[in-house]
Structure 1
Amino acid sequence: MTSTNDTFPTWSWVSAYGPIHFRGASPRGCSLAFWGIVTSIDTQPTILTIPEPSQRDELLFYDVNYPLQAQVVAALAWQNGCIRSETPDYVLLGCPRKEYKARLWRKWPDYVTYWHDAFDAYYHTANPVFSDSDIELARVPGRILVHSQTAWFTLEHHAEERPDAESVRVGRHAFLLRNKDGLVAGGIYLTEHWAKPYKNLGRKEPVRFIALSTSQYPGTALMSGLLGECAQHLSPSALYGCGCSKPPTEQKPALPSNPESTAPQHIPSCPHHLAFSARLEHLPARKWPPRPRRWVSTSEKRDIAYTKHLADLSYFDNEGALVHQWDDVPTLNVMMVGEGGEGGVGRRVGVGQVYLRRWAEADRGFESVVI
C-alpha cells in the first residue's frame, strides 16, 4: 500500500541490512497496521504524517485478486481481535458463507472503504496511538512508527537454502515459528546475517512479531514448502509438534478413560492419532488423501498429516462449510522485530507468515513501536 502523498510504502525497508527480495504484489493482503512517519527540520515544527490508501489500492478487491477472498480474511482477522477498533456486527461469522461474502462485498466494495472502517478510530485525539515520546524517537531518518498487534513465538532453525546463481537466490535459512505448546504457528526465511544469532536460540527464547497484514497466498505457499520439501528430516509427529515426540519430561499426560494411562494426547496431524487416516467431510469429493496445491508429495502419510494440519487451522460457517479454499488457510504477514538499542527502538529483521488461528490463540497486545 502506498500513501496518497507518496510518503513511503508501508512495506518500507528503509535502513534494512542486506539484499531484499519483494514477491509479486498480487494477491495482496489487507493492512492490520497503522503507520506513521515523522519529518523534522530544524527551522520547522515536527510533522507526523499518517499514510492513507489511494485509488491505486482499490484494485486489491478486484477479480484478479481472488474475488471476495481478501474481504473474508480481513473480516476474520478483525473478528479475532487483530484490529483495535470496535468489532462491527457485519464481520461476525454467523451465517452461510455466500451470505457472509455478499455482506462483506456490500460493506467493503474497495480497499479504501475497508481501511477507513478499520482505522479511522485510531485518529481519536483523546487516546492517540502515538505518544509524544514515540514521535520524538521517530525523528531520526529511516525510522517508522507503527501501531499494531504484537505476539511472541519461538524460532526453530529448520533448513538452510544454499546460494543459487541461476535462480538468483542469495542463500537463506528457514525457521519454523512455534507457539507455547510447540505447535507450528508459521514460518520465516532469514538471510545469513540475520539468521546467525537465532540459529541456536532454541525454543525457550520467544521473539516478538508485529502483525502487518492479512494474507492467504503466499502465506500457505510458504508453509507448504517449509512443511514439505524442507521437512524430510523430521517425522510428522515431531514436525507438527505432537506431545509424543517430546522428551518424557516435557510430555503432558492425557485425560484418558483409563486413569492409570499416562500416554500423551496425539494431535490430528500425528500418525498415531486414532482418526489420522479418516477422511475429512468438508473436503471436496476426490481421491483420499487430497493433494494440496503447491505441495510436493513424498508419501501418503505426509500428505494426510499436512491435510489434517490445514483442517485444524480452517474457518467454517454456521452450516459447517469452509469460508475459504481448503488448502489456502488464512494467514498473517508479520514482521520479526529485534532489539535496536536506543530507547527501545526495534530493528526490522524479516517478514514471515503466521496462521491466523495460531495468532488468535497467542498472548497478544496492541502497542506502538518505532522501527
Structure 2
Amino acid sequence: MTSPTADDVRRAVGAVLDPELRRPIGELDMVRQIAVAGGRADVGIVLTIVGCPAADRITSDVRAAAASVPGVTDVAVDVGVMSPQERQSLTERLRGGRTREMPFGPGTLTRVIAVTSGKGGVGKSTVTANLAASLAARGFAVGLVDADVHGFSIPGQLGLVGADGSPPQPTRIDDLMLPPVAHGVKVISIGMFLRRGHGEGPLGAVAWRGPMLHRTVQQFLTDVYFGDLDVLLLDMPPGTGDVAISVGQLLPNADVLVVTTPQTAASDVAVRSGLVARQTGQRVIGVVENMAAMTLPDGTSLDLFGSGGGQAVADALSVEGARVPLLASVPLSPTLRSAADAGTPAVLSHPDDPASKAISSVAAAIAAEPRGLAGRSLPLRLG
C-alpha cells in the first residue's frame, strides 16, 4: 500500500461541505496546513467566526474525511478562526463581487413566488411551508422569506425551534446572515431575532410602521446568503399594505400565488391582493383554495366554509390572454393542522393525506413550469 500524502488528505478534507454555506470548505479557503507522517494526519482548518454553531459538525466531518484516506490511521484536527480580512474576502466571494446588492430582482435566474391572501387566517403560511418542503423534496434549492413580520409563523411550522422555544438565530459573517435550514429549505424570519423570556411565554411582538417593514424585507433579500436558489418563496402578510407595496417595488419580477378559502367573504378580498400585485408588474400564476370540503369517514362531505370561492378568485383575476388557474382545492385536514403545530410539514410526514396531495400537486405544477429566461442575461463566458 502506498503511503498517504498531504495532497491526498487535502483533497478529501477540502470536499467536506460547510453545513450552513452548503459549499466545500476547500472552496471557501477554510483548509490550512496539512501534514502526514507515519499514518498520522495533522489537519488545520479555520471556521468563519468564533462560536460557529456548525463547529462540531465540521470538525467531525473533517476528521472522518481525513480518516477515510487509505493509510491514515490517526487524525488530529486543529481548529482556528478566520481573520477579519479573510472573512471580508469570503463575504465578497459569496456575494459574487457585488456589495450589498439584492440578487433576486429582474434578471435573476431564481424563480420568485410571493404567496398572498386577502384576509388572515386562510392558512396561507401552512400552504407556503408545505409548498416549500415539497419543492425541496423534489430536489429544488428552495429559500423561504417569512415576510409576515407582524404575524410570523413559518419557523414553528418548519420545526425551527431551539431549546428555549425560540427559533435559531442566523449565523452572521460580518454583514452577511446565513439562514437556518429545515427540511432542505433555507429560512429567514423576524421571529429568529426575538427571544422568549426564560423559555416561557410567546415571542416578543413587533410593532413597526412602513419604513421599518420595508427595511426589514429589503435586508432579508439583500443581507441573507441563500446561495444559488431555484425557487424563493415569500410568505406575505394578508392584505395589500406596506409589505405588499415594498415587495412589489423590490421584486416586480415575482410571480404571485393567491390563497383563499371557499367562503365568499374571503374570496372577494383575496382578489384584491392579486389585483395589487398585478399593478406592480407581478404575474398571478394561480389560486389555491384552502379549507375546502373534506370527506368524512362515512363518505359524506363537509363544506364548512362553503364552496366555489377558489374558482371565483381565479375567474376574477383572469384576463384576456392570461388565464389564472385554480391550482388546487386543499380540503380541511386535522393532519395538516397538527403537523404544522409539530413543525413537521404534512407533505413529508403524511404524504397520503388528501391535503398533502393537493399541496404537492401545486408543487408539481410549479416544478413543471420552466423559469422564463427571455430578456435575462445568462452567466456565460466564451473562451
Q: Report the TM-score range of the alignment, normalised by the length of the smaller protein.
A: under 0.3
Could you state the TM-score of these two structures normalised by the residue count of structure 2?
0.25
Higher relative contact order structure (alpha carbons within 8 Å, sequence separation ≥ 6) = 1
